Every structure is written in C-alpha cells, then in structure tokens.
Amino acid sequence: MEIKIAEHSGFCFGVQRAIDLAFTEAEKDNEGYGIYTCGPLVHNKSVTDYLEKHGVGMIERLAEAKRGDTVIVRSHGEPKEFYIEAQERGITLVDTTCAFVAKIHKLVEEAYEDGREVVIVGSRIHPEVTATNGWCAYSASILETEADAAEYIKNPHNNPLVVAQTTFKAELMMDILKVLDEANCSYELRNTICNATRDRQQSCADLAQKVDSMVVVGDVHSSNSKKLFEIAQKFNKNSIFVQDKSDLQLKETAKYNTIGIIAGASTPEWIIMEVIASMSEKMNTEKNPMLDFMDDIEKSLRLPKPGDIIDGTVVEVNDDAVIVNMGCKKDGILRKDEVVLEDGQTLKDVFKEGDEVQAKVVKSDEGEGGILLSKKRLVAVENYKELEDAMESKDIITVKLTRAVNGGVIAAYKEITGFIPMSQLSDRYVESADEFLGQTVDVRVIRVDTKRNRAVFSRKAVLVEEKRKQVAEVWTNLNVGDVVEGKVMRFTDYGAFVDIGGVDGLLHISEISWGKLKHPQEILKIGDIINVKILSLNEEKGKISLGLKQTQPEPWSLVGTKYQIGQTLEGKIVQIKEYGAFVELEAGLDGLVHISEIANKRVENVSEELKVGQPVEVKIMEIDPERKRISLSIKANLPEEEVAEEAAEAETEEEA
C-alpha cells in the first residue's frame, strides 16, 4: 500500500499561530486568574482537551470571564463590541485572530463607516461570519445559498461591498455571485476566501483523482474538514471521513493500493500521524518504509513554536542573516541583530555553511517567510538560568544601571535586564535614581521569572550584608580600654555618637571633659576626628560607651607639679556659695576662695561681690592633693594702698 499526503494539509498558519499563542499562554502563571478561550479554539476535540489539561478553560460568552482573567480570541475573530467590553471590564485579551480575518474586519468596518452596504457570502451560523457582521453593527446581508441571493436581488442595492467567509467553498461563492450578475446587480467584490482553504481544497481535488481511496481527517464539527470531504467524494467515490485513527476501518483501507490523506485546517499533526501509522502497521513488510517516511513527514510538518530551542545546520551565511535548516518544511532565519557579535565582527566571521547551531525560536511562522531565530535570546535563556542559580546560592552578581523607570531603575546583566526598585537601590533613602545611572554595582537576585523574562535585583541587600560583616569584624577587634580613632557623627542632649570604624559608640556628655559641660558642642563639632577610649562593650545590645576625657590626664594627678603655693593665676568664677566662690583654674580643677579671702573688708554676701563667669586673679594659699582641695585668695593680690584705704574706711565706719 502506498500512502500519499496532500500537498496542503492540516493546520493552516492562522490556526497554527492561534494554537502556539494559546499553548504559550497555558504555560504562564496567571497568578490565580483564569485563562479561557471563548468557544473552542479550533474545531478539534483533542486540541481543546489538551488545552483544558493545561489550565486553559472554555467559556461560551465573555460575560463569564472576570476582571483580571485572560481570554484568548480565536483565529476567526470576534465582533467589535467584544474588544470594547473586555477593555471596560479589565479582561486581558490574547488576540489570535488570523491576519486574513482581521483584514476582512477592517474592510467591513471602513465600508460601514462610509455608509456602504455590506454583503457577506458565507454560513450565517459560522462564528467567523457572526464576528465579521459585528464590525458593521450587524447590518450585513448574509448570502449562504443561491436562494439567498435570489431573495437579495429583489430589492435595489447601491454597489455593496461583498466579502466572503475565509473558509467558504469557492464554487458556491461563484454560483451565488452569478445570481447577482444575472440580475445586473453591481457590487465590489473582495475575494476573501483564504489561500490556505483554496490550496487545501485544490490539493484535495488533485490527490483524490490520483489515488484509490481518500481519507479525510478532521473533526465532525469542522466545516472546512467537511467541505474537504465533499470535494474528495466528488472526485473519488472511495473517500472516507475519520476523526482520528479509531474511526479507521483498516480492513476497508487495506484493500487499496494507494491511499490519499488530507486533513482539515483544524486537525493537529499528531492525529494525522496516528492515522497514517495505523494504516502503515497493516503493511506486512519486514522493514516498513512507511515508518521512515512517517518520521520525515512528522518532522517536516512540525514547525517549532516560539520559545523552542532548536538545533540546525547552517545552509547559508550572508551579511544580514544566517539561514538554518532545522529539518522541517521551513528554514530558520538568524538575523544579525539576534546574534552576539564583538565590535567589528561579521556573521561570516562566526558562522560557515555546515556549522551546527543552536538557537531560540522567536516567531514560528511569518506567512511565506521563514522561522525567526535568535542566538541572543538563547544566551538570554542561559543568563536567566545563571540568575536562578545566583538567587538559589545567594551569590552576588554585577549589573549596570542603564535607565530610570517608574519606581526604580533597569539594570543590565549580560544580554538581559532586570529591575531594581527604588527601595532596593541603597541602604539609605534615595530621592532620585539619576545619581546611580551608568554605575556598575553588585546586587543580589531576589526574584526571577523565566516564563515572563523578569528579574528583580537588590543592591541594598549587598550593602546591608557588607555592613553586617564590617560591623562583626569591628566588634571582634574592640576591647575595653582600647583608644581608637573616631568621627563625631551626631549630637544628642546627653552626648555625641562617634563612628569608630563602622559602628557607633556613645560618648556621654560626662565623659567628654574633666570639666562640666552643658552641651557636647561646647567642645566638639560634627565631623571632628578624635581619639576615644572604649569604656564598655555590650555586643548583644550593640552598645559601646566611649570616653574622651580619659585620653587626657586627670587634672588632680598633675596638680603637685603644675601648681605651687603663692602662685598667682587667672581663673573664672564657676560657682557661688554662702561660704565663698569656686574658681576654675582649668577644666576639672576648681579652687575655693573663702568669703574671708574675697576682699580687704568684711563681706556679708558673696554674690554682691562676685558673679558666675567673672574672671578673677587669685593666689594659691594652700594645696591638698589628697583631699583634692586648693585654697585661693583674691584679696592677697589686691594692691597695698587699696588695703590701707579699705582698712582706714573700715576704722572710720567703726568710730562713727
């Protein structure tokens, strides 16, 4: 038995595209929202079963979808209001409307807007015809039979636009138009019957005449499959219609020497293959040549889908692209801009005929063109894998900050980009991302979504980690009693915070000076570099107490060497008491001027003679280092005349 496959068979490019887009959508994580087709994507149960198994459900009307859901528009399109409703209700559409069908919608819409009448030649119950009618507010006349045409010409018409259902039988359309022609009804015909349909119908007719029997493979609900069967029957009375291999009467087919196979536009390859395989199993040859043939056919029929990684052989290299044979019916095109090239490198430097290449499919079918491939995106796949690994192992990667966007910056990592939210740009508050643009920075990968090609990075995570390590290292090197260098960072009423190499310690106001301070700013200012002594450490609470005064000698320890009895000094009144006044000789070293030593007269009230802050000249009368006491005298420094005068005044006052 010889099996011949029709030249045009199986999925047309419009249906293939719809299936590809739907399968791609099915692989995505829709974050809890539904993914649906509105009606069956194609008239084939095995395809709809497959989609359902992969999470793509089916609804009958858009009203059944909720806000946030995704609805896949079928290849034969939807009416205009469908798109409007989806937008209003926040439903995402994945539009797989075939380019040919979309063109008809445009023609019909423009004609309607120009006030013209529209005629659709097609089946009035076919969803494509209903959708097309929805682009002229359902005003079109639908001619499905010659009888419809005869009815139509009873009324006058003004040069209507005539379009056809893409899958309508060409002969029937001509019969219908003949009725209009014979009635001298003028019209503008746009023959929109699709080539795929025409080609499939023609190859069906051709093959049916050359074989003993024709097998038409298709779903019972597929109108184009049923039409193929009609054509096959017209030319071959032994034609059979099967949905899949289970419908095959193998005894029946075994009696023919040659069998022709054709499949409707909605029939997937795997069903065609199963039908062929079933028939070929019946062939009683030791080596079944049909199986080899099957392999080739299967390979050549199956076009890679977007996202597939393919292996192929370079068949041509030119300045702009590399042509790759992938063993299927179309070649792959690897454009220059989809290859990673060094400066000045050309495609011919990198590829030559016969090279084995691997690439990622970007677009599976460009109509008559080839399949678009990308090396860059293959590299991107590897790059995303690297990001996934880096995220898992918590490795740090380096990225370049290229562009500010809403809420953050775009960061380039090799051939891909990720996003750094503003809050993750730094460990401090960032007002504007502009200051970071152009910088190369280390980041952590905090999220990767390889399905959606998204990655999120954090620079803050790296900085925080660095800081943590730095702090840990600083702590291990700190010891109570150490004198370390620090920088005054900020003040509070009770002291100053000093950075001692990555950690802050508190320099309490009482530990700044041996003297008394009201505020740390009396001695320090922000940014001062000072040596401080570590007074205490509490790693658990992260608290460090520092002392500045401890880095200088305690004044009383030097009093014996610095000061002598009889020495006259400048000092400042710092405290007034009933029994005298304290005079600061230096920070932390006060002496007492007893009330009797203030003047050469009797002083009743110290504060009538002296004020706090007043500079005075004092003489040291006595030093007691053990009790930390110095007795001072102001009157001992007063001039003698003044003393005599004051004594005389005192005598006069007493006599009086």
Minimum separation from the CB atom of position 400 to ligand SF4 (A): 44
- Find all residues with CB under 8 Å of 588, minimum gap 6, and list them: 513, 514, 515, 549, 554, 555, 556
Which of 563, 575, 572, 567 lies closest to 636, judged by CA?
567
Minimum separation from the CB atom of position 196 to ligand SF4 (A): 4
Minimum separation from the CB atom of position 194 to ligand SF4 (A): 3
Minimum separation from the CB atom of position 11 to ligand SF4 (A): 8
CB closer to ligand SF4 out of 44 and 197: 197
CB closer to ligand SF4 out of 1 and 265: 265
Binding site for ligand SF4 (CB under 6 A): 12-15, 75, 98, 100-101, 166-167, 194, 196-197, 265
Block residue for tokens 């199963």: 274
Residue 639 one-letter amino acid: P
Which of 44, 42, 72 lies closest to 57, judged by CA?
72
**CA distance linking residue 476 with residue 453, whole number of Å:** 43
Minimum separation from the CB atom of position 104 to ligand SF4 (A): 9
CB closer to ligand SF4 out of 179 and 196: 196
- Positive or negative CA dihedral for 42, 45, 49, 52? positive
CB 398 within 8 A of CB 442: yes
Name the token pair of 343: 């400066």
Residue nearest to ligand SF4 (CB): 14
Q: H-type helices in 210-288, by residue range?
A: 223-235, 250-254, 269-281
Would you please indicate which residues are annotated as catalytic (active-site) residues? 128
CB closer to ligand SF4 out of 13 and 563: 13
Minimum separation from the CB atom of position 330 to ligand SF4 (A): 15
Minimum separation from the CB atom of position 171 to ligand SF4 (A): 17
**Residue 393, Cβ density class (10 Å: 0-12 exposed, 13-18 middle, ≥19 buried):** exposed
**CA distance linking residue 532 with residue 551, whole number of Å:** 7
DSSP label of 74: P
CB closer to ligand SF4 out of 80 and 198: 198
CB closer to ligand SF4 out of 196 and 207: 196
CB closer to ligand SF4 out of 167 and 417: 167
Minimum separation from the CB atom of position 372 to ligand SF4 (A): 19
**Residue 607, Cβ density class (10 Å: 0-12 exposed, 13-18 middle, ≥19 buried):** exposed
CB closer to ligand SF4 out of 267 and 545: 267
Block residue for tokens 């009895």: 565
CB 264 within 8 A of CB 42: no
**CA distance linking residue 107 with residue 134, whole number of Å:** 12
Residue 344 one-letter amino acid: G
In three state form, how does the secondary structure of 361-403 look? EEECCCCCCCEEEECHHHHHHHHHHHHHHHHHHCCEEEEEEEE
Residue 8 one-letter amino acid: H
